[in-house]
Chains A and B, each alone.
Chain A
Amino acid sequence: MIQLNAPFTEEKVRNLKLGDQVEITGIVFTGRDAVHKWLSEGNNPPVSFENGIIYHCGPVVMPQGAGAKKGWKVTAAGPTTSIREEPYQAGVIERLKVRAVIGKGGMGEKTRLACQQFGCVYLHAIGGAAQVLAEKIVKVQNVYMLEKFGSPEAIWQLEVLSFPAVVTIDAHGNSLHREIDSLSKSKFEELLKR
């Protein structure tokens, strides 16, 4: 198990390779469909994503406390399917200097190449494991764009501790998704002939 602690740097992510199991500690920003579309239209995020981590996630967040103690608690927070951000992700990695993207289901060629060129990795969290992953979120630090995008689509600034994931696209041009697709494709074609 590799500990991936903030600050996240290009050197740190370049050291990771396919299949590495990591635990992330530091700040992650949730961003999914609405955020990626909006960023790709040239808008700047309300907080810098430089050397940061974007998490494809639409959490369940409940308000907590009142008055000065008013805050939020994440009660469920697994990854959402990343491939929907494929048209936008490479541009977001390049322009905003993002170092890691957490999601599920993998991403395509554009993202794989952007990871290689700009020094970023794709970290696969376990889809559906909303409770195990919510336990790793120790604090909701802030929320942006809540009114505009609604709760699941807002940018939540989350402090995570030992958040588990697997490197499935590294910064050296390797993609587990491409490998599995190619292996399963030849098996699929063999089965079609049976």
Chain B
Amino acid sequence: MITHTMSNAKAQKQVFESLIEIIRKTSTELPGDVIRAVEKGKSAESPNSSAAYAMNIICQNIDLAKVKSQPLCQDTGTVIFYAYYPKKWDYSVVHKLIEKAVSAATKKGYLRQNSVNSLTGKNSGTNVGPGAPYVHCEAWAKDEFEFKVMLKGGGCENVGAQYSLPDGRIGAGRDLKGVRKCILDAVYQAQGKGCGPGILGVCVGGDRASGFVHSKEQFLRKLDDKNKIKELAELEEQMVKEANELGIGPMGFGGKTTLMGCKIGALDRVPASFFVSVSYMCWAYRRQGAKLDKAGKIQKWLY
């Protein structure tokens, strides 16, 4: 029994260390699929334009953050965790380890002090508080762990939008044509405010809460994947093409790359409701994940 407790304590410590490393990597390095999309965007802009100037600084910043191992963007955002753990572990232990790792990563400067009490305005200084970090945690049958992390900044979070169809203002009905209009409107409304070029996560259906959650889960997909649902795969491609015709460009300076990707999922809805929930992700698209062995050591990066 004592041996078991000791080994568990050892594994807990290792999971904690691994979680800090996952947070560090998420905050300071962009995944390969995102870097490829940024480089593609950069090469599309005309030389000497303000758009090219912006994309150049963005690329310099990606390199510098990695070399210095410091936050790519000072807004390290809402910390969003998706955690899967072996059944013999206790939920509260895993949850607590995530909170401890977030607090430690904040102390190390990988995360900004970013959780503010909404009533008093007081910053906890640790990124831990009611609802912070956001954690989706579930046990699974495997004896290993999987953690995925997203850091979603406030600037892009603020330009997310939810539509209830039919929407008379933009003439959007309850079908994919209407969904298309909502997405175009969300991109137009966001202009340069969400640190474009951006990426959209969209949910068709669900309720107001599940719709936004599912729209954000689209960001766990790789930019170069293909939607398994044919209609959605087509719409995703069409939206990127059409959004880029708007000419808003990087930072809203005008230019060819307004959107680098659009990922769409669908949930069932009740007959009375038809929501389209659009989440916007900035170019500083920080998501990472890792598989950990049963001892808590990082075995493999997921992105």
- What residues of chain A have their CB less than 8 Å away from a CB belonging to chain B? 19, 21, 34, 57-60, 62, 75-78, 80-81, 83-84, 104-106, 124, 126-132, 134-135, 149-153, 164, 166, 168, 176-177, 179-181, 183-185, 187-188, 191-192
Contact = CB atoms under 8 A, between A and B. Distances in A.
A91 B55 CA distance: 33
B54 interface: yes
Given A81-B155, A128-B195, A191-B245, A62 B109 contact: yes
A180 B171 CA distance: 23
Given A76-B71, A105-B155, A180 B192 contact: yes
Given A150-B121, A153-B123, 11 more contacts: A62-B109, A75-B70, A126-B57, A127-B251, A128-B72, A149-B121, A166-B54, A176-B254, A181-B191, A184-B246, A188-B184
Given A150-B116, A177-B252, A191 B71 contact: no
A150 B123 contact: yes
B223 interface: no
Which secondary structure characterizes the binding site on chain B?
A: loop
A183 B171 CA distance: 21
Residue from the set B116, B158, B242, B251 with the largest chain A CB neighbour count within 10 Å: B251
Interface stretch (B60-68, B141-149, B229-237, B287-295): B60-68
Interface string B96-129: 0000000000000100111010000111010000
4 cross-chain pairs, A with B, having the tightest CB-CB distances, nearest first: A150-B123, A127-B195, A76-B74, A105-B193
Given A19-B50, A104-B251, A185 B188 contact: yes
Interface string B66-95: 001011111110000000000000000000
B84 to A, nearest CB: 30
Interface in B138-193: 153-155, 158, 170-171, 181, 184-185, 188, 191-193
A77 B70 CA distance: 11
A10 B64 CA distance: 35
Which secondary structure characterizes the binding site on chain A?
A: mixed
Contacts of A166: 50, 53-54, 253
A179 B284 CA distance: 26
B15 interface: no
A132 B61 contact: yes
Interface residues of B, number: 54
B264 interface: no
A184 B185 CA distance: 11
B58 interface: yes
Residue from the set A19, A83, A126, A176 with the largest chain B CB neighbour count within 10 Å: A126
A126 B171 contact: no
A106 B192 contact: yes
B70 A128 contact: no
B282 interface: yes
5 contacts: A105-B191, A128-B72, A130-B70, A135-B64, A177-B252
B31 interface: no
Contacts of B184: 188, 191-192
B248 interface: yes
B283 interface: yes
Contact of A106 (B122, B154, B252): B252
